[in-house]
Structure 1
């Protein structure tokens, strides 16, 4: 191996990393949890890494969606822009298109989730979610959580 080989490998690794960061730019977003609707899994101050888009939509995943209209739910929301992080909700996906509608989801008519819809649930009983708001259209999905970047200081024991 020549003396230039390690330099070449390091340069190649940097190029691959730069390309990956370029491709991920705009698709990965760090968000901070506010509120207790997803506790004890997520606490206020937790930092999450979010993958924008609908690629990883599946039952059991934690999702970030555009906040619903206070009275009429998600169907009347025409905004806000997806980068207004104060207007996002963090909830768990409990059913996707074609799956049975959970019994507790009284505002979700039918026996199976319609195409393009999600049933969402917070982990606290008082959480505003599909129990009160009905189906969430997939086009209100900002993205899904990949993992927690950082737990809130002194919150988790």
Structure 2
């Protein structure tokens, strides 16, 4: 009887973990040097991110890519000033429900071409590269902690 209880508990735990975690294979070099082609990214399905976080998001058809998902770094969130290199000008802020993203590589398909990304399109937030292992959180990238 105890074996059945352990199996049920283990199955439930795996189901919960699978529902929260996703592993994404990196394709391309737009996030180089943080992520390179073929890396595996461990990401958490959650609805909170900040400037500097890596996000996995669904792309919209006809916006410059045939890839269904992209991985980019958050450059600015709703209410923050839009960076000049992503189309910002004095006084221009990221609209509510949107965020601006950029690749770590100089040549990257990001908000310079895609424009603002809908917050609803974000699927997960990157935590670490699995092979080889390295942290990719906003803190690891040197992003400042938000004031509380």
Query: TM-score by structure 2 length?
Result: 0.74
Q: Work out the CA distance in 2 between the residues paired with 1:16 and 1:99.
A: 44
Would you say 1:140 and 2:121 are equivalent positions?
A: yes
Q: Work out the CA distance in 2 between the residues paired with 1:97 and 1:25.
A: 29
Q: Which protein shows a greater Rg? A: 1
Q: How far apart are 1:107 and its partner, in Å?
A: 7.6
Q: How does 1:1-157 map to 2 (within 5 A)?
A: 19-54=12-47, 56-71=48-63, 87-106=68-87, 111-151=92-132
Q: How far apart are 1:68 and its partner, in Å?
A: 3.5
Contact in 1 for aligned 2:58/2:70 (Cα 8 Å): yes
Helix, strand or coil at the partner of 1:65:
strand
Contact in 1 for aligned 2:82/2:88 (Cα 8 Å): no
User: Structure 1 residues 93-102 or 110-119, which shifts more?
Assistant: 110-119
Superposed CA RMSD: 3.0
Q: How far apart are 1:18 and its partner, in Å?
A: 5.6
Listed as ranges, the gaps of 5+ residues in structure 2 are 1-5, 134-148
Q: Work out the CA distance in 2 between the residues paired with 1:151 and 1:143.
A: 20
Q: Work out the CA distance in 1 between the residues paired with 2:29 and 2:64.
A: 22
Query: TM-score by structure 1 length?
Result: 0.70
Q: Work out the CA distance in 1 between the residues paired with 2:45 and 2:34.
A: 21
Helix, strand or coil at the partner of 1:22:
helix
1:5-47, CA deviations, whole angstroms, 9 ceiling, x for partnerless residues? Answer: xxxxxxxx99876654332222211111110000011001111
